[in-house]
Amino acid sequence: MRTVRDDEGQTFLLVKRSSESSLVRDPETGSERYLPNDELTIDTEASPLVTAAGAVPVSVRRLLAAAPDDQALGLLVELADRGPLAVRTLVGAYDLCESDLHGLLAECRAAGLIDEARVGGERGYDATKTTRKAVSYLRDD
């Protein structure tokens, strides 16, 4: 499979090529259609897998990359739903030891998915707009 572009610059995945036309798939919609070969240019710089991943919003890709397991994903969902939350609340509410929680918080913060926040005068964390958008997308709200 290869990445191709049409004359208007739209990106497709090349599914099958014949002598006069090619079957291409739109990575955003998954729809397939035939286009004349003379309207297509092979993009040698773009990986077809990266092109396919481009159909998923950036916010969702970032969330998925930063959440290695369901616990991390659950923490992000909780902050998106209930945040901002004080660190003391997080430690008391979930079955994570303090060091594991702080490790998850640090990874999520480094990924730009949470921000530090003040909650009732205490240090806490809140989901970023990117995280809220990704969670909403995943829920299909």
- How far apart CA 81 and CA 29 sit, in angstroms, is 29
pLDDT at 126: 97
Of residues 136 and 95, more confidence is placed in 136
pLDDT at 68: 87
- How far apart CA 129 and CA 42 sit, in angstroms, is 36
Residue 105: left if φ>0, alpha if ψ -120 to 50, beta else—which one? alpha
- Among 88, 78, 75, smallest CA distance to 123 is for 88
Confidence of residue 75 (pLDDT cuts 50, 70, 90): very high
Confidence of residue 141 (pLDDT cuts 50, 70, 90): low
Confidence of residue 47 (pLDDT cuts 50, 70, 90): very high
Strands (E), the chain: 2-6, 11-17, 21-25, 32-36, 40-42, 85-86, 114-119, 122-127
**pLDDT at 96 exceeding the cut of 70:** yes
What token pair was written down for 32?
């397939």
User: What angle in degrees, to the nearest 10, is found between the helix axes of 70-82 and 129-139?
Assistant: 110
Work out the average pLDDT over 52-75. 91
Mean pLDDT of the chain: 93
pLDDT, tens only, 26-38:
998 899 999 999 9
Work out the average pLDDT over 39-45. 93
> Mind listing the domains of the chain with CATH numbers?
2-53 (2.30.30), 58-139 (1.10.10.10)
